[in-house]
Amino acid sequence: MVAVATTTIARAADPLPSWNHGSARQSIITFVERVTKESSPDFVPVADRIAVFDNDGTLWSEQPMYVQLAFVLDRVRQLAPQHPEWKEKEPFKSVLAGDLKAIAAAGETGLMELLAATHGGMTAEQFDKIVIDWIAAARHPKYARPYTQCVYRPMVELIAFLKANGFKVYIVSGGGVEFMRPWTAAVYGVPPEQVIGSSIKTRYEVGADGRPVIVRLPEIDFIDDKAGKPVAIHKVIGKRPIAAFGNSDGDFEMLEYVTSGPGLRLGVLVHHDDAEREVAYDRKSHIGRLERGLDEAARRSWTLISMKADWKSVFPSPTPDQ
Amino acid sequence: MVAVATTTIARAADPLPSWNHGSARQSIITFVERVTKESSPDFVPVADRIAVFDNDGTLWSEQPMYVQLAFVLDRVRQLAPQHPEWKEKEPFKSVLAGDLKAIAAAGETGLMELLAATHGGMTAEQFDKIVIDWIAAARHPKYARPYTQCVYRPMVELIAFLKANGFKVYIVSGGGVEFMRPWTAAVYGVPPEQVIGSSIKTRYEVGADGRPVIVRLPEIDFIDDKAGKPVAIHKVIGKRPIAAFGNSDGDFEMLEYVTSGPGLRLGVLVHHDDAEREVAYDRKSHIGRLERGLDEAARRSWTLISMKADWKSVFPSPTPDQ
Ligand SMILES: [Ca+2]
Ligand SMILES: [Ca+2]
């Protein structure tokens, strides 16, 4: 009992208990202090304290494949009995054979066909339920736990720390917005209306029963990646955030846009350098490639988080890494 | 001094002082009580207390023309010296001649040309400043006051009342989102990120000086009207609001979508029936036509606000109507 109480007190004192003391942690804390202290020349009113976070590889694991791709593959397998033609038709044939290389070779056209078949053709409410059921049942292939337990504990603490300091936190992800919204409030403390992502087109329809629904069409509306991220931030939020967190070159423009506004700004990149507790990858990776960001971080005064050095733990406990 | 103090106390007691006691005011207050009282079977948690408001004709005056059209006409006049060709080119020629009928006759194509010429071809920040300067200087042709003083005082009180009861209030307007965002926080208490509207396409660009900007392109991205309203609500907010306020058939689908969700819902239409203090118009009007809404309000249990009967005053004081 004494040990538990002491831990609780220590945690209350340290808002970032899963972070090692070092320059990354320090640069984040200093930034928050400077923009929140009213007497500070860098003070920012609450209304303008907006922070944006990428999701895949920044808030949760994106290896060995994007979680949404795992969802797509599971959906194809699940729907296959209703589509006997898929047995002979690419890219479905390769999905059913579990041939990841052939799926990758099918390229963007193949991916679009998979997205259309698995993400379109139902109402928004039906898709919500499909995501909720899948995310509850699916397990990460390496960590053998729900994907929502493969989120980065230090980043979840960071979101809570920013919120406690008056920040409004948005997720700005290349992933599908409706693939994230059903669970981000419970897992990250970020409500659906603060999630921005890629989207497919939708149509408003009143059914034969008189009930209006949002129907998901098998057609891409917007890809929220690279230069699309600042465009989406401007479209949805309508002001320039003061802090941005990412992990790959898909976040470069978002960090560039955020950190070149007037006043104090914070740009942060999560560097996956921890082969032991997670996966080490950067310049050569097909998933979450980080090259330009690494080259320019110093010149742009962006903070690099070394997962290996800066994080005491990676996943929530009980965790495979502790 | 005593009179002032008494007024203050009376106001503090009544959250809607500009509303006459009647069925419209009562239906709104009853709804708010039922969704906010924890012991009520209709209780709604704060996270789901989302209310959406149309803007033109619902929150501010849209007669004798949409405010944004007045802005477009002023912009054309202001830019005309740099465009000598406009003197001979429609629809600019008619704008410069002040011929509203000819502008209307130019139809959608003409309007798009006007929008492209006045709303595109600059950065988002430049457009912000243009709007801020215009809205400060322009005067309503009939009320001879700034447009931001032609907002409906009872509706501004209603927004404050909903916010005080844990509601997150969004504006969902057919008007341009960037034409509203620069002033909605000060005038309505609705921050930029809670404003949804029509939009033009934008592009992210890094200028020769290395400064990244959002460039406004002369091309429509999205029209936030009719069935577009529920689509935009779903896209941006990602959940179904529980209360919707509009004034024309352009809001029909929004009210239909909102009021057919599960649980207690509120749909409200402002009926412009006050020829004396504002303008009386509905079924036959080209601006803000309200026909289907009037026909179906009773059957759908939507509340009709009679501006004449339900509002003690229409505009903020000092006002032309008091
Ligand atoms: Ca990423
Ligand atoms: Ca309207």
Give the minimum alpha-carbon distance from A76 to chain B in angstroms, rounded to a whole number.
25
**Which residues of A fall within a CB distance of 8 Å from B177?**
235, 238
Please report, to the nearest 10 degrees, the dihedral formed by the alpha carbons of residues B7, B10, B15, B19 taken in order.
Answer: -80
A192·B239 Cβ contact <8 A: yes
Segment A1-24, tens digit of pLDDT? 344 444 444 445 799 999 999 999
Q: Residue B160 and residue B188: Cα distance in Å, rounded?
A: 8
Q: Residue A204 and residue B234: Cα distance in Å, rounded?
A: 10
Q: Residue B186 and residue B200: Cα distance in Å, rounded?
A: 24
B238·A178 Cβ contact <8 A: yes
State how far the alpha carbon of B129 is from the alpha carbons of A47, A242, B134, B137, in Å: 19, 20, 8, 12
| pLDDT of residue B5 exceeding 60 | no
Helix (H, G, I), strand (E, B) or coil at B296: helix
Question: Angle at which helices A124-137 and A67-79 pack, to 10 degrees?
Answer: 100
Give the minimum alpha-carbon distance from B28 to chain A in angstroms, rounded to a whole number.
23
CB nearest to B193's CB, from A230, A231, A238? A238
Predicted local confidence at residue B108, as pLDDT: 82
- Looking at A5-14, A136-145, B214-223, B229-238, which range is the least confident one? A5-14
| pLDDT of residue A144 exceeding 60 | yes
DSSP string, A113-170: HHHHHHHSSSBHHHHHHHHHHHHHH---TTT-S-GGGSB-HHHHHHHHHHHHTT-EEE
Q: Which residue of A has its CA nearest to B256?
A: A212
A193·B168 Cβ contact <8 A: yes
- How many other β-carbons are positioned within 10 Å of the β-carbon of residue B122? 15
Give the minimum alpha-carbon distance from B274 to chain A in angstroms, rounded to a whole number.
33
The residue-averaged pLDDT of A74-81 equals 97
Give the minimum alpha-carbon distance from B163 to chain A in angstroms, rounded to a whole number.
16
A185·B47 Cβ contact <8 A: yes
* Chain Cα centroid distance, residue B280: 18
Range list of β-strands (E), B96-240: 168-176, 195-206, 212-222
Return the structure tokens found at B267: 């749909």
Domains of chain A: 16-62+148-310 (3.40.50.1000), 67-137 (no CATH)
| pLDDT of residue B321 exceeding 80 | no
A204·B253 Cβ contact <8 A: yes
B109: confidence class by pLDDT, cuts 50, 70, 90: confident
A253·B204 Cβ contact <8 A: yes
Interface of B with A (CB under 8 A): 47, 50, 124, 168, 177-178, 181, 185, 191-193, 195, 199, 202-204, 206, 210-212, 214, 227-228, 230-231, 234-239, 253, 256-257, 260
Average pLDDT score over chain A:
94
Give the minimum alpha-carbon distance from B227 to chain A in angstroms, rounded to a whole number.
6
Q: Which residue of A has its CA nearest to B262?
A: A211
Which of B183, B193, B209 is best to mutate for the A interface (most A CBs within 10 A)? B193
Give the minimum alpha-carbon distance from A69 to chain B in angstroms, rounded to a whole number.
22
Residue with tokens 């009580």: B33
Which of A204, A226, A299 is best to mutate for the B interface (most B CBs within 10 A)? A204
State how far the alpha carbon of B214 is from the alpha carbons of A16, A54, A107, B20, in Å: 35, 20, 30, 46
Q: Residue A171 and residue A99: Cα distance in Å, rounded?
A: 31
Q: Which residue of A has its CA nearest to B258?
A: A212
Measured in angstroms, how far is the CA atom of residue A1 from the centroid of ligand 2? 62
| pLDDT of residue A285 exceeding 90 | yes
Find out whether the peptide bond into B154 is cis, omega within 30 degrees of 0. Answer: no
B259 versus B207: the higher-pLDDT residue is B259
Neighbouring residues of B173: CB distance < 8 A, sequence distance ≥ 6: B54, B55, B56, B180, B195, B196, B197, B198, B224
B260·A204 Cβ contact <8 A: no
State how far the alpha carbon of B117 is from the alpha carbons of B13, B42, B112, B113, in Å: 49, 49, 8, 6
Question: Angle at which helices B177-188 and B124-137 pack, to 10 degrees?
Answer: 50
B94-102's contacts with Cβ under 8 Å and 24+ in sequence apart are B100/B65
Q: Residue A53 and residue B141: Cα distance in Å, rounded?
A: 46
Measured in angstroms, how far is the CA atom of residue A27 from the centroid of ligand 2? 47
Return the structure tokens found at B307: 């501006």
State how far the alpha carbon of A312 is from the alpha carbons of A271, A320, B130, in Å: 15, 13, 50
Predicted local confidence at residue A61, as pLDDT: 97
Q: Residue B277 and residue B152: Cα distance in Å, rounded?
A: 11
- How many other β-carbons are positioned within 10 Å of the β-carbon of residue A245? 29
B106: confidence class by pLDDT, cuts 50, 70, 90: confident
